[in-house]
Each structure stands twice: as C-alpha cells, then as structure tokens.
Amino acid sequence: MACLHRMLLAVLVVVVTASPPVFAADAAGDGDFVPRKEYDQLKSDFEAFKKEVRNSPAGPNTANAGQEQFEYLEAELQAIRHMAEMAQAGSTKFLITGYGFATYSDMEGSNSTFGAGFNPIFLWELTDRLLFEAELELELDAMSTALALEFAHASYLVNDYVTVGAGKFLTPFGVFGERLHPAWINKLPDKPLFYRSLVPHTSVGAYVRGGFPVASKMNYVVFVSNGPQVQTTTAANSGLLNFHNFSDSNNNKAVGGRVGYLPIPELEVGGSFLVAEVSPEGFAGDVTAVLFGFDISYAKEIDQIGGTVDVRTEWVWSDVEDATYDPTGAMGFGPITYDNERNGGYIQVAYRPSKNSNKVIKNLEGVFRYDFLGLPSGAPASADQQMYTCGLNYWVTPSTVLKAAFQVTDTDGADTLHAFLFQSAVGF
C-alpha cells in the first residue's frame, strides 16, 4: 500500500506539472497551471481508481493504514482542485495583435531614407457581445518617435444584424482605411494618393453597423462624428479639409456611412457618403462639405490562371461649398474664392501564382496601381497628379511580406518624379 501510495502521488505530480495552461493571451506556457479539461480527467481517473481499490479484497476497508492514505490523497486532490480553480482563465478574453514594418524610400528630389513603425492592437472580449479594441501607432518622425492613438472604441452586438459602438474608430468611408491600410495587408509600400488628403482616416463618434443576408449579402455602417474642419489660414491650405481635428469645431456633427453589396462571395460593391459643416467658429458663413465614394473589390483564386487575382478600385468626390478665404487680405493671401471640388481614386491589380508547385514562385505577387488626384483649378498651388506604381512582393508567411516597388509621379506643371520604395511588414 505504501508503494501504491507513492505511485499515485508520482502520477498526480507528473500530470499536474506537465499540463500546459489555456489562456487567451498565452505567451509564457510555463506549466504552472492545470487546464480544466485535464483536471476533470484526473479527478475522474482518481475516483475510478478509488472505487476499484475499495472493491478489491485487499481494499482500505480492511486496513486503517489504507484508509488514512486514501484520506491523505483526497486532501491532496482538494488542494490541486483549488490550485486549478485559482489558475482558471476568466470569462474575459484578451488578444494582442497588430503589425510592424520597416521601409526604405529613394525619391527623386529627396534624401533616401529608412523608416519604421509599430502598431500594436489590443482586443478585449469582455463578454460574447462586448468588445473593446484599441490600436497605438508608433512611427519615426525626423527627430523623434510619434505616438498616436489610431483607434479605441467599444462595440456591442445588439443582435444578429446590428452592432453599436462609440469611440475613436477607423472611418468607414470606402474600404482602404478600414480594411486594407495595415502594412501587412496593403500590397504596396505606400498609400493611394486620394487617401492622403481627400478622406478621413479616423473619426471620433458613434456608429451602427452590421451584415445581413438579403438575397445575397449586404453590410452597412452609419456613423456620426465630430467631423472635419476646412482650413483657412494660409494660401496653400485654404479650402483643404483637415481630418485630424478630434474635437468639434463648430457644434455641428458629421454624418456618414457605407453600404456594401456582395452578389457573389468574391465581389463586393460599395457606396459611401459623408456630410459635414466644416467652417470653424468665427468664419464668415457656414461651409458644408459633401463626400461621395464608391468601391469595388474582387479577389479570387482561379484555376484557369493558376493563381489568385485581386482587383480593386475606389473613387471619391469631395465638394466643399464655395467660400471666401482671407476676405480682407489681412492674412496676406486673400481674398480667395474658387469652386472647391476635388476627386481622386485608384485602380489596383495584383496577381499571385498561388497554384504553382514551386515554393518560391507561389509566394511571389505582382502588383500595379494607378492613382489619380484631381484638384480645383482655382485653388492656390494645386495641380492634378497621376501616379503609376509597379510592385513585386514576396510572402514569407501569410502575414509577412517583402515589398519592392517602382513609382512614377506626374504632376501638372512639374517634372515627373521617380521613386524606389521597399518595405518589410509583419502582421502578428
């Protein structure tokens, strides 16, 4: 019985110390915790063994020493149960994800330069319906590290079709900002031209969104936010919308949204809008901005072409109500008035021979993007731009990519500029 006692204890110790924990954010895996599943199995085995021994001719009922040993084992099991319960993960689930990247750019007329960035994303699922998510953005400026809050918002799944949320969120205008801008998803090292100046990247406000089956499938989002502000202080920026003001400048909120329709799984067609009063307080007259956009995305692995094709286009029209900037000339550049309409977009095509049997070739991807930015002819220092970018990517893993691109930029009234762009990006 003493030998049996020692054997049982040895089994218990080995099982408890060899079982890895199960946590939402498991990173250490140091074996100090007992998973619930294994604990239950251990307890079940022990109970069965106890029953077998009690029923045997030489069971504990026939000897006080055996009974004491079983009571001792019972106490040990209670202690292990307590340890397991203390180590159990709670109902809250937590995940750190995000991406990092390094860049090198060599643009004609500028110094070639390296760059880097790190964007951790924190996801807390507090209940099955309640999610809080936040992203920090750390990037290098010329002489310092810039830290920004990319987004931070909570969302609640009201029902199968409705999710509500509030906070700072990626603006659901088009698809590039919300879905494609992370470095490990964007197929080129830089962002489309139109996205740098015509549409907001983030908004502070609240939203209602969801997806629902309607013949095929649709998704929608409607949001209200503090809204952008028209710039008025210099000749170069007068009439441009500033999307980086995070407080409401005029007690008027912006309203926007997007509807997406998927007639077939690989094709999505979307339309977006944004309406806002953008004149700052004290500006002569109210100025309203209206933005419309559409987007089309198609991605499919096609056997006949031996790989995956990815075709996307987005276009936006921005119409800011006519206004007079620096009406008295006191700022030194006015008065300026012009028809403040802008538009821009891109078309991108990518192909990856994902069906090829060669391990290197199947991970290569060719990309081409055409960008256009049309600015109002009456605006100071504005000129239409067209950009042609050819890229070649190598996917080390599904979320790790090396990118190389050659870019040609044509600006009306200026020299054509060429650039080489390189980027490595890791999604985790």
Question: What does the binding site for other proteins look like in residue numbers (CB under 8 A)?
Answer: 22-26, 89, 93-95, 97, 123-125, 131, 133, 155, 157, 159-161, 163, 165, 170, 175, 178-180, 184-185, 209-221, 259-266, 268, 271, 273, 292, 294, 297, 299, 301, 308, 317, 319, 341, 395, 398-399, 427
- CA proximity to 206, closest of 222, 224, 221: 224
Rounded least distance, CB 399 to other proteins, Å: 6
- CA proximity to 203, closest of 151, 154, 250, 161: 151
Rounded least distance, CB 162 to other proteins, Å: 10
Rounded least distance, CB 412 to other proteins, Å: 19
Q: Which is nearer to other proteins, 118 or 273 (CB)?
A: 273
Q: Which is nearer to other proteins, 49 or 161 (CB)?
A: 161
Rounded least distance, CB 32 to other proteins, Å: 17
Q: Which is nearer to other proteins, 280 or 353 (CB)?
A: 353
Q: Which is nearer to other proteins, 133 or 190 (CB)?
A: 133
Rounded least distance, CB 266 to other proteins, Å: 7
Q: Which is nearer to other proteins, 9 or 185 (CB)?
A: 185
Q: Which is nearer to other proteins, 401 or 419 (CB)?
A: 401
Rounded least distance, CB 394 to other proteins, Å: 12
Rounded least distance, CB 381 to other proteins, Å: 22
Contact 270, 259 (CB under 8 A): yes
Q: Which is nearer to other proteins, 395 or 422 (CB)?
A: 395
Rounded least distance, CB 220 to other proteins, Å: 7
Contact 155, 163 (CB under 8 A): yes
Rounded least distance, CB 284 to other proteins, Å: 22
Rounded least distance, CB 51 to other proteins, Å: 33
3-state secondary structure the chain: CHHHHHHHHHHHHHHHHHCCCCCCCCCCCCCCCCCHHHHHHHHHHHHHHHHHHHCCCCCHHHCHHHHHHHHHHHHHHHHHHHHHHHHCCCCCEEEEEEEEEEEEEEECCCCCEEEEEEEEEEEEECCCCEEEEEEEEEEECCCCEEEEEEEEEEEEECCCCCEEEEEEEECCCCCHHHHHCCCCCCCCCCCCHHHHHCCCCEEEEEEEEEEECCCCEEEEEEEEECCCEECCCCCCCCCCEECCCCCCCCCCCEEEEEEEEEEECCEEEEEEEEEEECCCCCCCCCCEEEEEEEEEEEEEEEHHHCEEEEEEEEEEEEEECCCEECCCCCCCCCCEECCEEEEEEEEEEEEECCCCCCCCHHHEEEEEEEEEEECCCCCCCCCCEEEEEEEEEEEEECCEEEEEEEEEEEECCCCCEEEEEEEEEEEC
Q: Which is nearer to other proteins, 60 or 345 (CB)?
A: 345
Rounded least distance, CB 233 to other proteins, Å: 27
- The Cα 409–Cα 66 span in angstroms is 87
Q: Which is nearer to other proteins, 46 or 338 (CB)?
A: 338
Q: Which is nearer to other proteins, 60 or 209 (CB)?
A: 209
- CA proximity to 421, closest of 409, 405, 410, 408: 405
Structure tokens of 49?
């063994």
Q: Which is nearer to other proteins, 311 or 404 (CB)?
A: 311
Chain centre distance of CA 349: 22
